[in-house]
Amino acid sequence: MLIKPSAGQPARIKVIGVGGGGGNALSSMISEGGIAGVEFVAINTDAQALLHSKAAIKVQIGENVTRGLGSGGDAEMGRNAAEESRERLKE
């Protein structure tokens, strides 16, 4: 069963880039002119990478797990960082 969206509420679209690769993809999209009406969100453990991100919304996760550094591609460390910041990610 398909549910038709309410005519009174426009769609909210967010493009979320996670980690270094996701952040680079976001920056490329934004540099190419972005997409009208889309919010870009960068999520990373690496504070320095977020400083250089072109995304309007930046969320640092896992400050205690990574001490502001990247996870080095370690999926388990990334998972722990996300779990540490679960409430912030829900926002």
Q: Tell me the per-residue pLDDT of 37-76, one tens digit each, with 9 for 90 and over.
A: 899 999 999 999 999 999 999 999 999 999 888 888 889 9
Q: What are the extents of the domains in the chain?
A: 13-90
Tokens of 50: 């977020």
Distant-in-sequence, close-in-space partners of 30: CB < 8 Å, separation ≥ 6 = 40, 54, 55
pLDDT band at 30 (very low <50, low <70, confident <90, very high): very high
Which one of 1.10.510.10, 3.40.50.980, 3.40.50.1440, 3.40.50.1370 gives the CATH number of domain 13-90?
Answer: 3.40.50.1440
Mean model confidence pLDDT for the chain? 89
* pTM for this model (two decimals): 0.83
Distant-in-sequence, close-in-space partners of 27: CB < 8 Å, separation ≥ 6 = 53, 54, 55
